[in-house]
């Protein structure tokens, strides 16, 4: 079996009473809003090679093994 490139990406937005917006993203998904005809970027891309130290400091881990399922989870 040949595995393809792995990874996750998502973006979500919640509009509150038409007055406020909360936006979150993971991976290289980017939220953009158009105001007055101009595009404004709301989020910054999250990439493991630039955030490895922050992720590991918070108890997480980064797997660079190519594939849709990491070997860590393949037995689950």
Q: What is the tens place of the pLDDT at every residue in 7-42?
A: 678 899 999 998 999 999 887 788 999 999 999 999
Looking at per-residue pLDDT, the higher value among 21 and 63 belongs to 21
The pLDDT score that the predictor gives to residue 67 is: 54
The pLDDT score that the predictor gives to residue 27 is: 78
Distances (CA, A) of 1 to 5, 66, 72: 13, 13, 17
For residue 12, give the DSSP letter: E
Cα 58 to Cα 67: distance, rounded to the nearest angstrom: 24
Longest dimension (CA), the chain: 51
The pLDDT score that the predictor gives to residue 62 is: 76
**Residue 49 pLDDT > 90:** no
Cα 23 to Cα 8: distance, rounded to the nearest angstrom: 17
Angle at CA of residue 15, ends 12 and 42, nearest 5°? 55
């Amino acid at each position: 079996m040949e595995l393809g490139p792995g990874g996750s990406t998502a973006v979500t937005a919640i509009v509150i009473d038409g007055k406020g917006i909360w936006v979150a993203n993971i991976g290289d998904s980017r939220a953009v809003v158009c105001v007055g005809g101009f595009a404004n970027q709301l989020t910054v891309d999250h990439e493991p090679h630039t955030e490895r130290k922050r992720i590991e400091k918070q108890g997480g881990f980064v797997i660079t093994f190519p594939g849709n399922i990491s070997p860590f989870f393949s037995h689950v």
